[in-house]
């Protein structure tokens, strides 16, 4: 019986190894609007991939959710678009049809009736921030969440950074500080242990995101992503469902 169980595990391994998931973030234009798109792919045995994700129009912070497939040949990609993360059984607002290959996703967005609405062109390559410099301090609050972010960067080099937040009731805190700069292409990254803070240039905004910082937070504390405009004004980029 023991050897039968071991054999069963080995027989199952190929099936598990065929399904590999990865995440990609792309920046670009949707029509004449700057947008950020996040796509998550799960590979299939035939070489195609299931795709889910979302895009964010930066000027309006309009968010739309995506679901579809990417073919093995030429990266032909067809994505349904909707206003909810669950698209099954709900009317689509549009479709994105194009090719996603070599780090570039480009094509056209069509309305529910098949009418062409706009072209899109996204790239996985983000602008470098080697020369970025700013002194930012801002306080943000929405609902139960409040945070203070301050940093000083000169010529792409970190001088100081502190990011605090609290969630009520209970005042569950986060306090991220003492980070050191790490080598990072397409932005700036600062880290201490597993905790990292990443800045990326989105054109009209710089986006600041924290990842893996649970050890610096209370049991229900978290750090919401922030958009900073060219004047240094900040706004929360609230994840769906908060």
Number of domains forming the structure of the chain:
2
Whether residue 208 sits in one domain with residue 158 = yes
3, part of any domain: no
32-59 pLDDT per residue, tens: 999 999 999 999 999 899 999 999 999 8
Given 123, 145, 163, which residue is the final one in a domain?
123
Residue 220 above 90 pLDDT? Answer: no
Whether residue 99 sits in one domain with residue 53 = yes
Whether residue 189 sits in one domain with residue 101 = no
Nearest in space to 69 (alpha carbons), one of 52, 94, 56, 83? 52
169-204 pLDDT per residue, tens: 888 899 999 999 999 999 999 999 999 999 999 999
Phi, psi of 156, deg, nearest 5 = 80, 5
Interatomic CA distance for residues 17 and 154, integer angstroms: 45
Average pLDDT of the residues in 97-111:
97
145, part of any domain: yes
Given 80, 97, 123, which residue is the final one in a domain?
123
Domain that holds residue 180: 134-236
Whether residue 169 sits in one domain with residue 100 = no
27, part of any domain: yes
5, part of any domain: no
The model's confidence at residue 19, banded by pLDDT at 50, 70 and 90, is low
What pTM does this model have?
0.83
Residue 242 above 90 pLDDT? Answer: no
Whether residue 65 sits in one domain with residue 40 = yes
Residue 167 above 50 pLDDT? Answer: yes
Q: What is the CATH number of the domain that holds 87?
A: 2.40.128
9, part of any domain: no
């Amino acid at each position: 019986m023991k050897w039968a169980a071991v054999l069963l595990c080995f027989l199952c391994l190929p099936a598990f190894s065929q399904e590999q998931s990865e995440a990609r973030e792309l920046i670009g234009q949707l029509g004449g609007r700057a947008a950020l798109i996040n796509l998550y792919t799960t590979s299939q045995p035939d070489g195609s991939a299931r795709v889910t994700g979302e895009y964010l129009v930066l000027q309006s912070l309009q968010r739309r959710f995506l679901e579809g497939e990417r073919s093995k040949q030429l990266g032909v990609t067809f994505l349904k678009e909707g206003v909810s993360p669950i698209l099954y059984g709900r009317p689509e607002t549009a479709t994105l049809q194009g090719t996603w290959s070599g780090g570039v996703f480009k094509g056209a967005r069509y309305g529910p009736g098949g009418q062409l609405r706009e072209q899109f062109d996204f790239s996985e390559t983000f602008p470098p921030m080697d020369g970025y410099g700013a002194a930012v301090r801002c306080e943000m609050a929405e609902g139960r969440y409040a945070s203070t972010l301050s940093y000083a960067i000169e010529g792409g080099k970190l001088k100081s950074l502190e990011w605090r937040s609290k969630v009520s009731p209970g005042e569950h805190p986060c306090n991220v500080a003492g980070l050191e700069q790490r080598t990072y292409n397409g932005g700036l990254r600062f880290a201490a242990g597993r905790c990292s803070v990443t800045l990326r240039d989105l054109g009209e905004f710089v986006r600041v995101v924290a990842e893996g910082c649970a050890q610096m937070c209370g049991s229900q504390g978290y750090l919401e992503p922030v958009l900073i405009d060219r004047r240094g004004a900040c706004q929360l980029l609230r994840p769906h469902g908060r």
